[in-house]
Amino acid sequence: MGEKRTAKPASAGAAEVLLFIVAVLSALGGLMSLTQATLGVGAIAFACFVAILARIAQAGNQHQALSRRIAALETQQAATGAAVGAAPPARIPTDSEIKCSVCGTIASRGPSSCPTCGAKY
C-alpha cells in the first residue's frame, strides 16, 4: 500500500546490468574460442544463451501485464468501493416468504412448491 506503480518498463538495477555485460562478454569469448571440434556444442550453448535472454524478456512483459491488470482492478475497486469478487449481499426472507433450500429462490409462502425449480417445501 502506498507503493507507486508505473506501467513503464522497470529499469534494470546496476547488478543486473553488470551481470548482463558479463554474460555477453562470456558468450563472445566462448564464440571466439570455438574450434572445428567444439562448433556443434558451441552452437547449442549459444542457442541456450539466446533462449534464456528471450525468457527473461518474456517474463518482464508478463510481469508488466499482470501489474497493469492489478492496478486496473485496484482502480475499479476504489471507484466502486466493493471488494473484488465479493458476493452480493444475501437477501433474508421475511415472515411471509420462504427460501427454497434447493435453488435459493425467495418466494411467498403461498404455494407448496418452488416457482423456480419445483421443489416441494
* Residue 98 binds Zn ion, judged by CB under 5 A: no
Q: Binding mask 43-82 vs Zn ion (x if CB under 5 A, - otherwise)?
A: ----------------------------------------
* Residue 100 binds Zn ion, judged by CB under 5 A: yes
Q: Closest separation between CB of residue 88 and Zn ion, Å? A: 18
* Residue 105 binds Zn ion, judged by CB under 5 A: yes
Quote the cell numbers at residue 77.
Answer: 475497486
Q: Tell me the C-alpha distance between 88 and 70, whole Å.
A: 22
* Residue 114 binds Zn ion, judged by CB under 5 A: yes
Q: Tell me the C-alpha distance between 93 and 28, whole Å.
A: 75
DSSP string, 5-52: --SSPPPPPHHHHHHHHHHHHHHHHHHHT--TTTHHHHHHHHHHHHHH
Shorter beta-carbon distance to Zn ion: residue 39 or 103: 103
Where does this chain bind Zn ion (CB under 5 A)? 100, 102-103, 105, 114, 116-117, 119
